[in-house]
Amino acid sequence: MSLGIQPSSQNDPSFFARGPLERIVKMEELHRRLGRSPNYRGENDALRLLAKLLSDSPQAALQGLADQALKLCRAESAGIGITEICDGKNVFRWHAVSGNSPPHPESATPPGFGSACGSAWAYEAQATGASHSILRERKAAPGEALLVPFFRGAQEAGALWVAHHNANKRFDREDQRIMESLAAFASGVAQSYLREEAADLARRRQEEVVSLLESEKELREKFVTALTHDLRTPLTSAKMSAQLLARKAGEPEAVLRSAARISASVDRAERMVRDLLDANRLKAGEGIPLSIEACRLDEVVNHSVKELTALNGERFEFVNEAHETEGYWDHEALSRVIDNLASNAVKYGAPGKTITIGLVKQQHYAEISVHNEGDAISIDDQKSLFKSYRRTDSAVSSGQKGWGIGLVLVKGIAEAHGGSVRLESFPERGTTVYVRVPLDCRLPS
């Protein structure tokens, strides 16, 4: 069954109230028109061709349907649309157009008024439907459209349409017969098409899952390698220093130096273990537990700079614009923030250049900054910087060892304090990370 529209006909006015269809040519009118004699041969050839196209691909058969409808109905434009599920919603999508048609086969619209078959269904047009939008969107002279919905069981599956652009041309009974024959075929084609699409989608999803799992596995392996390697550094230093201590027991200066190195190494190993545990907490969606007390941030930074110097040499400059900065924080957690940022600056900044650690105080917050000279971090890399176990491409290619959790921890600790982190990186100027925390993090931010 099919329905035609004719923009100028004066038909049942009740249709106007029901949607955007401008004029409906009832089927009786189509039947009243003088029909040309049936073109069985043309229909037969078309169906044979379509069967062949279908064996190639359902998409080719859909295009063939539009082409054959155009040809056999001697129309100016033709098209076929299918309803499908897209992001959980039922949508109607043009899959093929032919002739002088609007080039929008990819656009999806909700089925209903506004789409050709949607209009037809809205009219419960077992019969037939057509939408003025076919003509309007094409910006063609108003002509007549003939539209045939097709079904999958009782479900609307799509629509095949043809349109005249010339107001003097009309469809007739033969056009209707041909279109219904093609539409019956289209129903099968649409089913094959959707099945193939679904299989494609399932295959793509499966490939995505496999590749995700593989990349997770690779990340984990790299992480364990980096972790065990990094732990060996403080272990090596502590073990050798302890042995040296035993050999130089009589030399107080050597004993003190070795003891300090053992202590710094053990601290470092301990911090690595804690960082790892906290990164896992964050990954599980838990916050970092803090123990808040009154402390002075300038003293925290000063102490960190001393420790960093013991581990990395004289490379740090503390620029304190805040002087005595009193507040309520977890001083141990904030010293880990400084340690992580400064270690990154040592690893990825310009070798040997001074790393500047800044502190400023405002009315309600304090801000720690760590600046290093060196190459800028690309915008792409900046996006993944704060994701756990993800090391940026440039971090990996630098040859530096890393676990990919330092900045995740920095962000986690800042946020646990009700604060925030931001990063600025520019060529020529280098990279600065700013960590802002409220002066009293016990207060709601």
Q: Does 320 bind other proteins (CB under 8 A)?
A: no
329 SS3 class: strand
What CA–CA distance (Å, rounded) separates 352 from 359? 22
CB of 311 to other proteins, least distance (A): 6
CB of 421 to other proteins, least distance (A): 25
- Is 287 a binder of other proteins (CB under 8 A)? no
Q: Does 237 bind other proteins (CB under 8 A)?
A: yes
The yes or no reply on residue 261 touching other proteins (CB under 8 A) is yes
Token pair belonging to 164: 């005249």
232 in contact with other proteins (CB under 8 A): yes
- Backbone φ and ψ of 291, nearest 5°: -120, 105
Asked if 263 touches other proteins (CB under 8 A), the answer is: no
Residue 244's SS3 state is helix
Q: In angstroms, what is the minimal distance from the CB of 349 to other proteins?
A: 11
27 vs 235 by CB, closer to other proteins: 235
Q: How far is the CB of 263 from other proteins (least distance, A)?
A: 12
* Site mask for other proteins (CB under 8 A), range 346-385, x = bound: -x---x----------------------------------
Binder of other proteins out of 127, 184, 235, 290 (CB under 8 A): 235
Integer Cα distance of 101 and 2 in angstroms = 20
Q: How far is the CB of 370 from other proteins (least distance, A)?
A: 18
Q: Does 274 bind other proteins (CB under 8 A)?
A: no
234 lines the binding site for other proteins (CB under 8 A): yes
Q: Which residues pair with 163 in a beta bridge?
A: 77, 145
Q: What element of type H or E holds 93?
A: strand 89-99
Print the binding letters for residues 32-61 with other proteins: x by CB under 8 A, - otherwise. ------------------------------
- How many chain residues interact with other proteins (CB under 8 A)? 32
Q: Which is nearer to other proteins, 51 or 244 (CB)?
A: 244
Report the distance separating Cα 272 and Cα 309, nearest Å: 18
Asked if 130 and 146 count as a contact pair (C-beta separation under 8 A), the reply is yes
Distance CA(162)–CA(160), nearest Å, equals 7
CB-nearer residue toward other proteins: 2 or 372: 372
Is 326 or 375 the residue whose CB approaches other proteins more closely?
375
Q: Give yes or no for a contact between 149 and 156, defined as CB atoms under 8 angstroms apart.
A: yes
Cβ atoms 330, 417 nearer than 8 A: yes
Residue with tokens 């925030």: 420
Contacts of 73 (CB under 8 A, 6+ apart): 146, 162, 171, 175, 178, 179
Task: Tell me which of 2, 115, 131, 258 binds other proteins, using CB under 8 A.
Answer: 258
Nearest alpha-carbon partner for 331 in 384, 295, 282: 295
| Residue 272 binds other proteins (CB under 8 A) | no
DSSP string, 191-211: HHHHHHHHHHHHHHHHHHHHH
Could you tell me which stretch among 110-118, 177-185, 243-251, 271-279 binds other proteins (CB under 8 A)?
A: 243-251
Q: Among residues 392, 400, 297, which one has the least CA distance to residue 345? A: 400
Asked if 312 interacts with other proteins (CB under 8 A), we say yes
- Minimum gap (Å) between residue 244 Cβ and other proteins: 5
Residue 306 interacts with other proteins (CB under 8 A): yes or no: no
CB of 368 to other proteins, least distance (A): 23
* Interface map 190-229 toward other proteins (x if CB under 8 A): --------------------------------------xx
Q: Is 248 in the site for other proteins (CB under 8 A)?
A: yes
CA distance 110 to 85: 10
233 touching other proteins, by CB under 8 A: yes
Q: How many CB atoms lie within 10 A of CB 44?
A: 11
CB of 225 to other proteins, least distance (A): 8
Quote the crossing angle between the two packed helices 173-247 and 40-56, to the nearest 10°: 10
- Rounded to a whole number of angstroms, the minimum distance from the CB of residue 214 to other proteins is 23
297-312 and 252-283 are packed helices; what angle lies between their axes, rounded to 10 degrees? Answer: 110
What is d(CA 266, CA 272) in angstroms, rounded to the nearest whole number? 10
Q: Are 391 and 400 in contact (CB under 8 A)?
A: no
Contact pattern for other proteins over residues 394 through 433, marking x by CB under 8 A: ----xxxx--------------------------------
Q: Rounded distance, CA 210 to CA 215, Å? A: 9
Tokens representing 325 are 């900065």
Q: Which of 49, 254, 272, 376 binds other proteins (CB under 8 A)?
A: 254
| Contacting residues toward other proteins, per CB under 8 A | 228-229, 232-241, 243-244, 247-248, 254, 257-258, 261, 264-265, 268, 311-313, 347, 351, 398-401
